[in-house]
Chain A
Amino acid sequence: MAWTPPPGNRSGRSAIVEPGNSASLPVRIVPCLDVRAGRVVKGVKFQGLRDQGDPAELAHSYEEQGADEVVVLDVTATPEGRGTRLDTVRAVRARLSVPLTVGGGIGEVEDAAALLKAGADKVAVNTAAVRRPELLSALATRFGSQCVVISVDAAGWHTRGSGYEVVVRSGTERVGMDAVAWTRRAAELGAGEVLLTSFDRDGTRSGYELGLLRAVRSSVRIPIVASGGADTPEHMADAVRAGADAVLAASIFHQRNWTVQEVKAALSGLGVAVRPAYTAEKETSA
């Protein structure tokens, strides 16, 4: 699909964050690798998984395209699969020199320790934290909040609270908790970032759930990674305006509709600051 810059901003120049009292960083573009048994897969609303490739190869290629970090989610985490998962993390780490977040099936502090030792920089916890919120405090105390991501899967809950409810076990179970209140509690317990996935939008490519992003943004200070529904840079720009600090996407990158580089160029044209590629400056010192 062709992207055309909006009128009035056709220069194609990057919108660089100017030094100053800036309160925000360039939006992070985060390709997500949903991994099952050592292979990247992707489905719709967490179902109907199809093979998309080798995780280490994909992670490396996304870094070269300009990805600001990479998320690996073990979508069918099982006790038997844990050894495979550590092998996957080691293989991805060997090819990746930007941050790596790993999630899926983390039930204990020791699960997180093993993933961090294998090369993860952050761990994302979901179902286990819903069941035992104190897990978040234990992780933050041992590894620091900057290592701990609360992964919240939220579905529409139209009659109550914020309008969004927490779902767990890959969306198969609704737990009757308000998603916004839960995210706030998780931040208080020590989570340093929230990976906020709209279950209703996941894999649909219909845009991020902006109401969910706005509701969580007004409620927490920790960075928000928006997830579920990305199809175009316009969707990502909308998410940033709704309060996202990072935008996660899977399908659009795996299916090569967009490269990360193309997404960044398009976002710049939409007035959203992105991290430019690094180019070494000539030696200026005498």
Chain B
Amino acid sequence: MTPAVTVVRTSTANLASVVTAFERFGCSVRTTADPDAVARSDRVVLPGVGAFAAARAAIDTRGLEDALRDRMLQGRSTLGICLGMQLMARGSEEAPGVTGLGLLDGEVESYGQGHPELRVPQMGWNLVSPSDGCRIVPRGFAYFANSYRLATITPGWHPVWSEYGGRFLAAVERGAVVACQFHPELSGTYGKALLSNWLEA
């Protein structure tokens, strides 16, 4: 079986690593910004590199909000990566006044408030620890490249934790809907294990 994966194209995102990662599993991968395709696809990836406000604007311009929100609320297989996870929150300190998709509670905040010893961005491999009930995100080291993160638990979503100047959400999962602050597509063998779990979920 070669599962089909739809990667949502927002204007700023670099998609080559995500696309290549799924092609290694033999998936047929298409990139699109078409809301109907996002609504219909069995598996959707919302990647994200760049700024919160620009990515949010791209979602609005392309009319993608309902398609993304609905499929995640319905528990249909969806993977948010990095900024793709942050966009699921209510908003971000990076872009005051810009709303996220509101699926996850809390606001995305910057690292390092009160932690002058921290390198910012967090750039490198950090230990990821899933809570009981997680079925897709394994325990292990994953690659992060981020200056902002979410730390608020949302009822109904299983938290996956990491530490960097305090505890933050490395990922959350609810059924086949997973959001990772790190980059599974850049996390070597660990990332392959995660993506394999998600494809099978």
Q: Which residues of B contact A142 (CB under 8 A)?
A: 12, 50
Q: Which residues of A contact B145 (CB under 8 A)?
A: 99, 121-122, 146, 192
Residues of chain B in range 118-141 having any CB-CB distance to chain A below 8 Å: 118-127, 129, 132-135, 138-141
- A97 x B21 contact (CB < 8 A): yes
Q: Which residues of A contact B129 (CB under 8 A)?
A: 19
Q: Which residues of B contact A281 (CB under 8 A)?
A: 138-139
Interface-central residue, B24, B115, B117, B123, by most chain A CB under 10 Å: B123
Q: Which residue of A lies closest to B186 (CB)?
A: A99
Q: Which residues of B contact A122 (CB under 8 A)?
A: 145
- B121 x A63 contact (CB < 8 A): no
- B127 x A17 contact (CB < 8 A): yes
Cα distance A280–B189 when bound, in Å?
9
Cα distance A142–B193 when bound, in Å?
31
The answer, among B123, B165, B186, for a CB contact under 8 Å with A192, is B123
Residues of chain B in range 15-35 having any CB-CB distance to chain A below 8 Å: 16-17, 20-21, 24
Residues of chain A in range 266-282 having any CB-CB distance to chain B below 8 Å: 275-278, 280-281
Cα distance A141–B120 when bound, in Å?
17
The answer, among A21, A28, A119, A278, for a CB contact under 8 Å with B165, is A21
Q: How far is the CB of A42 from chain B (nearest CB, A)?
A: 25
| CB of A156 closer than 8 Å to a CB of B | no
- A97 x B191 contact (CB < 8 A): yes
Cα distance A24–B16 when bound, in Å?
29
The answer, among A20, A23, A118, A246, for a CB contact under 8 Å with B118, is A23
Q: Which residues of A contact B157 (CB under 8 A)?
A: none
Q: How many residues of B contact A (CB 8 A)?
A: 53
Q: Which residues of B contact A245 (CB under 8 A)?
A: 119, 123-124
| CB of B51 closer than 8 Å to a CB of A | yes
- B14 x A143 contact (CB < 8 A): yes
- B51 x A68 contact (CB < 8 A): no
Q: Which residues of A contact B135 (CB under 8 A)?
A: 285
| CB of A151 closer than 8 Å to a CB of B | no
| CB of B188 closer than 8 Å to a CB of A | yes
Residues of chain A in range 111-163 having any CB-CB distance to chain B below 8 Å: 116-122, 141-147
Q: Which residues of B contact A26 (CB under 8 A)?
A: 124-125, 141
| CB of B90 closer than 8 Å to a CB of A | no
The answer, among B16, B117, B164, for a CB contact under 8 Å with A116, is B16
- B143 x A98 contact (CB < 8 A): yes
Cα distance A97–B24 when bound, in Å?
10
Residues of chain B in range 158-201 having any CB-CB distance to chain A below 8 Å: 161, 163-166, 183, 185-193
Q: Which residue of B lies closest to A90 (CB)?
A: B16
Q: Which residue of A lies closest to B117 (CB)?
A: A23
A145-B147, A281-B139 known; A221+B120 contact, CB < 8 A? yes
Q: Which residues of B contact A275 (CB under 8 A)?
A: 125, 141
- B193 x A280 contact (CB < 8 A): yes
- A116 x B14 contact (CB < 8 A): yes
The answer, among A28, A143, A145, A146, for a CB contact under 8 Å with B125, is A28
- B163 x A223 contact (CB < 8 A): no
Cα distance A278–B121 when bound, in Å?
24
| CB of B146 closer than 8 Å to a CB of A | yes
- A144 x B50 contact (CB < 8 A): yes
A21-B165, A23-B165, A285-B133 known; A192+B121 contact, CB < 8 A? yes
| CB of B49 closer than 8 Å to a CB of A | yes
- A121 x B117 contact (CB < 8 A): no
Q: How far is the CB of A239 from chain B (nearest CB, A)?
A: 15
- B49 x A147 contact (CB < 8 A): yes
Q: How far is the CB of A201 from chain B (nearest CB, A)?
A: 23
Q: How far is the CB of A143 from chain B (nearest CB, A)?
A: 6
Q: Which residues of B contact A222 (CB under 8 A)?
A: 119-121
> Given contacts A93-B16, A275-B125, could you give 9 more A-B pairs where the C-beta distance is less than 8 Å?
A16-B127, A23-B118, A68-B124, A94-B20, A97-B185, A143-B14, A144-B49, A221-B119, A281-B139
Contacts A/B (CB < 8 Å), 21 sampled: A19-B163, A25-B124, A68-B124, A93-B16, A97-B24, A97-B188, A97-B192, A98-B188, A99-B183, A116-B14, A122-B145, A141-B51, A143-B50, A144-B12, A145-B121, A146-B121, A147-B14, A192-B123, A221-B118, A222-B121, A285-B133
Nearest 10 pairs of A and B residues by beta carbon: A25-B124, A119-B16, A146-B145, A278-B190, A116-B14, A278-B189, A23-B117, A144-B50, A275-B125, A223-B123
